Structure 1
Amino acid sequence: MIAQIRGQLIEKVPGHVLVECAGLGYELDIPYTTFFHLPDTGQEVALYTHFAVREDAQNLYGFAARLDRDLFRLLIKVNGVGPKMALAILSGLDAQQFVRCVDNRDVAALVKIPGVGKKTAERLLIEMGDRLGQLEGHSQIGLQTPNLAVSPEATPAYKPEDEAEAALITLGYKPQEAAKAVSRVAEKGMNSKDMIRLALRNMIPAN
């Protein structure tokens, strides 16, 4: 079991990172809530991980906070929810928002996440309501984050607006939806991380 990885951040794109550790390069799928906390490439990064082995693939998933990793593990136990959907949920809602969503039985917030229909949302609220007690060991949500100091974003290879739109499209939003969401929040001098964060906040309002 690979529980955590610490090494040099070689590459980062929305949804994926490459981390070099002891001469080996590890590719990890990550939610956007983790992407927001990443330092610049070339710096050290530490991520909690979940290693999944299937007959046709081996996948490593990375999370900035232990709570997010543990919540991911609970999500993939829900009938009809696989790793891809679990990452989408944790990209649209951070752990604290998701817990509030379950407590408030907020179906509307969940169905705004790409790939989550009404039936799946209702199933999530029922099953996760019974399972969230397993996270009680984390007395204060969000304080399990490793030391991932966020540095000023390096100069992107293309416009921040383009990177933000591409990130939303990767998450499952339609190109027109992504472009519209980014245009609403984009301001001069804003980096792509802030655009993605604000666009998602508008598309999936916090409770």
Structure 2
Amino acid sequence: MISYLKGIVAGIQTIGANRVILTLEVNGLGYDLQVPQRLANHLPESGGVTQIFTHLQIREEVPFLYGFASPAERDLFRHLLTVTGIGAALAIALLDTLELPDLVQAIIAGNTQILIQAPGVGKKIAERICLELKSKLVEWRKSAGFFVATGGPAPGILEEVQMTLFALGYTAHEVSHALHVVSEDIGLPKDAYVEDWIKQAISLISVANKFNCHLSLIILLCLPTPNS
């Protein structure tokens, strides 16, 4: 079993819509690993050194290597593979859609509305994930060092708040993060009006997006020109 690989980033290739292949050179050998897009976005440039935690899968006698940023991410991937009807593609799609703690929380809370934001994950599959993994992840998260936040809208209004924000084009990660901040940092009561949750979340996301745009502009302005 290969637990992890540490080597030089030799290349990153995107195949199709969601398949990202990292070529990692280790002691003169090149390993191809399928990795989440979220991990690929944070890898060093070609020639940089990185450590990737791996999962080896054999399908029809052909080995496939999958790479992850941490042992916890790899372990959750393995948990997802145990769910009936979930293959590597759907498991990676889920890991790409939500940050690890948010994904664990969504499964434990039975929040199918946010799980179906992952490409290829329908309502029935989301319900199956929650049904088959909830009790396992309650125990696993303790050893993995996760906690499940208790903030956010009350269960009776959570789905309406999320559906509205998704309809406005916000991503699952943006919505999950915004609702957590609105609850924990701003202190909006769980049973506040749906409209209040939506307004606060939109305001928070808008501020974050403006900051990211300004930061990107600053970085671009600081980059050296080709003739410098």
TM-score bin, normalised by smaller chain: 0.5 to 0.7
**Does the 8 A contact of 2:52 with 2:68 survive in 1?**
yes
RMSD over equivalenced CA pairs, Å: 1.9
Q: Please identify runs of 4+ aligned residues in structure 1 that moved more than 6 A.
A: none
Q: Unaligned regions of 5+ residues in structure 1, if any?
A: 142-183, 185-198
What residue is the counterpart of 1:8 in the other structure? 8
Which residue identity does 1:117 align to in structure 2? G
Q: Are 2:171 and 1:203 aligned?
A: yes
What residue is the counterpart of 2:132 in the other structure? 127
Q: Tell me, what secondary structure is at the counterpart of 2:119? A: coil
**Counterpart selection for 2:144 from 138, 153, 158:** 138
What are the superposed Cα offsets for residues 142-189 of structure 1, whole Å, 9 maximum, x if unpaired?
A: xxxxxxxxxxxxxxxxxxxxxxxxxxxxxxxxxxxxxxxxxx9xxxxx
How much does 1:56 deviate? 4.7
Query: Structure 2 matches for 1:1-207, cutoff 5 A?
Result: 1-14=1-14, 15-132=20-137, 133-140=139-146, 202-204=170-172, 205-206=175-176
**Does the 8 A contact of 2:101 with 2:146 survive in 1?**
no
- For the pair shown, the structure with the greater C-alpha radius of gyration is 2
Count residues with an aligned counterpart.
149
What are the superposed Cα offsets for residues 36-79 of structure 1, whole Å, 9 maximum, x if unpaired?
A: 32111101010000000121521100001111000000000000
How much does 1:140 deviate? 4.6
Q: Tell me, what secondary structure is at the counterpart of 2:95? A: helix
- Normalising by structure 1, we get a TM-score of 0.67
Which residue identity does 1:107 align to in structure 2? T
Q: Which has the higher contact order (CA 8 A, sep 6+)?
A: 1
How much does 1:94 deviate? 2.0
CA gap 1:95/1:57 in 2 versus in 1, 3 angstroms: same
Q: Tell me, what secondary structure is at the counterpart of 1:19? A: strand
**Does the 8 A contact of 1:52 with 1:59 survive in 2?**
yes
- Normalising by structure 2, we get a TM-score of 0.61
**Greater helix content:** 2
Which residue identity does 1:27 align to in structure 2? D
How much does 1:135 deviate? 3.8
Q: Tell me, what secondary structure is at the counterpart of 1:102? A: helix
Question: Structure 2 CA distance, aligned partners of 1:57 and 1:203?
Answer: 35
What are the superposed Cα offsets for residues 7-56 of structure 1, whole Å, 9 maximum, x if unpaired?
A: 00001235221000011100000112212321111010100000001215
